[in-house]
Amino acid sequence: METKIKKIGVLTSGGDAPGMNAAIRAVTRTALNYDIQVLGIRKGYNGLINGDIKELNGKDVSNIINNGGTILHTARSEEMRTEEGLKKAAQIYKVLGLDALVVIGGDGSFRGADELSRHGVNCIGIPATIDLDLDCSEYTIGFDTAVNTGSDAIGKLRDTSSSHERCSVVEVMGRNAGYIALWCAMAGGAEEVLIPEEKDIVNSQHVIQQILENRSAGKRHNLIVVAEGVGGTQKLANEIQEITGIQTRATILGHLQRGGSPTVIDRMHASMMGYRAVKAIMNGEKNKIVVYNKGQYHTIDISEGLKMKKVYDEEIYDVVKILSI
Ligand code: F6P
């Protein structure tokens, strides 16, 4: 396939997610396959603004498909929130002679891309965030690895919690979205899950009531999953212990959910989305996000994608509780 595209840039931005490396590899190798030069931009948009850039060849992306983190490093760029930063980034893009910039990241990174597009930069987004909080795509790279890590940890807590007949309160990531918590709760067989979307409705009294009911129905240990955005995990554990008399331990999984070797699901989506991003650029598409919906990859305008608001799946929330009896 002949193409007018000569040179593209690629960066990772925002919180890292397992599978970002697989996406960098796919973008680089697809581009090289069509004789397109690839510049790797380090530390997110900061690298573009500061010229922290290195050409990537096929070997630079060897042995990374199986690694968590990102070889390009990442950052949440404060400068990109300023008009000056945006102008600087757009200026460097022009000086480098880039035909497009592939942005691998989440919601915040795409807001930056949307702004940059108004300064003449052609941005193509690849959704990568463990939070799964983009409504325009049913999948975001990193989610599967993160929930597998979370459910593995919960399984281990279940062992010790069951031995001691204790209650375990586990905090998983997700500042604004409860998807990680919902999936970890379901896969870990938790009896209660607290998510940011419901934080004004479900309180500690409700949780304690549930624990007491389950104990009187014969449960010998308890497992409660709390999303980071709800917070107060240690306080909740203290309250449960004080009011029920059941020994309770709090565990905050924190950033360990952001690392680790990506699962096959993450490697597959990252590879396909990386490939599709380059194809979109070659097809002359401008300012798009590569998304995965109903079993297919396609593209959507960045501005349209950002307007969509993700609503959590209430059915998962209900089923977690039904199955925990
Ligand atoms: O990348 C998403 C995420 O891991 C959220 O789940 C979490 O709330 C946030 O990033 C943590 O950000 P930071 O790494 O800046 O502490």
For atom 8 of ligand 1, the residue with the nearest CA is: 175
| CA dihedral sign of residues 206, 132, 269, 75 | negative
Asked if 223 contacts 165 with a C-beta cutoff of 8 angstroms, the reply is no
Encoded tokens for 118: 């108004």
Residues within 6 Å of ligand 1 by CB = 15, 129-131, 173-175, 228, 258
Write the DSSP symbol of residue 71: T
**pLDDT value, residue 250:** 98
Is 131 designated active site?
yes
Domains in the chain: ranges and CATH: 7-142+262-307 (3.40.50.450), 146-257 (3.40.50.460)
pLDDT in tens, the chain (325 residues): 778 999 999 999 999 999 999 999 999 999 999 999 999 999 999 999 999 999 999 999 999 999 999 999 999 999 999 999 999 999 999 999 999 999 999 999 999 999 999 999 999 999 999 999 999 999 999 999 999 999 999 999 999 999 999 999 999 999 999 999 999 999 999 999 999 998 877 789 999 999 999 999 999 999 999 999 999 999 999 999 999 999 999 999 999 999 999 999 999 999 999 999 999 999 999 999 999 999 999 999 999 999 998 888 899 999 998 998 7
Encoded tokens for 297: 């990859």
Beta bridge partners of 257: none
For ligand 1, the distance from its centroid to the CA atom of residue 71, given in whole angstroms, is 18
Atom of ligand 1 nearest to the CA of 228: 8
For atom 2 of ligand 1, the residue with the nearest CA is: 15
* Catalytic pick among 107, 131, 144, 266: 131
**pLDDT value, residue 73:** 98
Query: Shortest CA distance to 117 belongs to which of 247, 287, 303, 296?
Result: 287
For ligand 1, the distance from its centroid to the CA atom of residue 175, given in whole angstroms, is 7
Q: What is the DSSP string of 107-150?
A: HHHHHHHHHHHTTT--EEEEEB-TT---TT-S--BTHHHHHHHH
Asked if 12 contacts 128 with a C-beta cutoff of 8 angstroms, the reply is yes
Residues 143, 310: Cα–Cα separation, whole Å: 15
**pLDDT value, residue 3:** 84
Atom of ligand 1 nearest to the CA of 257: 4
Beta pairing, strands 167-172 & 100-105: unpaired
**pLDDT value, residue 77:** 94
Atom of ligand 1 nearest to the CA of 229: 8
Residues 86, 45: Cα–Cα separation, whole Å: 9
**pLDDT value, residue 277:** 98
For 98, 208, 246, the CA distances from 8, given in Å and listed in that order, are 5, 55, 58
